[in-house]
Amino acid sequence: MAITEHELELAERRTQALRQQGHATAARYDRRRSRVVISLNTGVEVTFPAGLAECLTDATSDDLADVEITPSGLVLHWPRLDADLYVPALLAGVFGTERWMASQLGAKGGRARSAVKAASSRRNGRKGGRPRKQGNA
């Protein structure tokens, strides 16, 4: 598939627009805090727990310490993991695929504790717990 000069020019313009919004100038892994630290051209420094990103969840500290920035400054790359994170997506709070993000949100919702939930659990416990499922007879 050939790319036309016009398509290439449009892509370059989009990249420049994204770079103006903010791009990485430095990135490192802070072992002490277990966080990825990104310095942006705007002077802002962004940090996030490595386990928050889908592609970094099972990575070791040594793997995470080996992070590179692409020449555009828009992608962080971990060669040992063959993993990439798009900086504009990170700034928008996107740390993985849509499906993975939804599963993480669902897991947190299921762990939620509230006074109402605790009281309901205690009442059910006094009654003998959850009723057993009835088989289809």
pLDDT digits (tens, 9 = 90+) for 53-110: 888 888 999 999 999 999 989 999 999 999 999 888 888 776 666 676 666 665 555 5
Q: Is residue 116 part of a domain?
A: yes
Residue 90 near residue 24 (C-beta atoms within 8 A) = no
Closest by Cα among 50, 26, 48 to 38? 26
Q: Which residues pair with 46 in a beta bridge?
A: 38
Query: For the whole model, what pTM was predicted?
Result: 0.62
Domain range holding 39? 17-126
Domain count within the chain = 1
Residue 119 belongs to domain with CATH number = 3.30.2020.40
Whether residue 1 lies inside any domain: the answer is: no
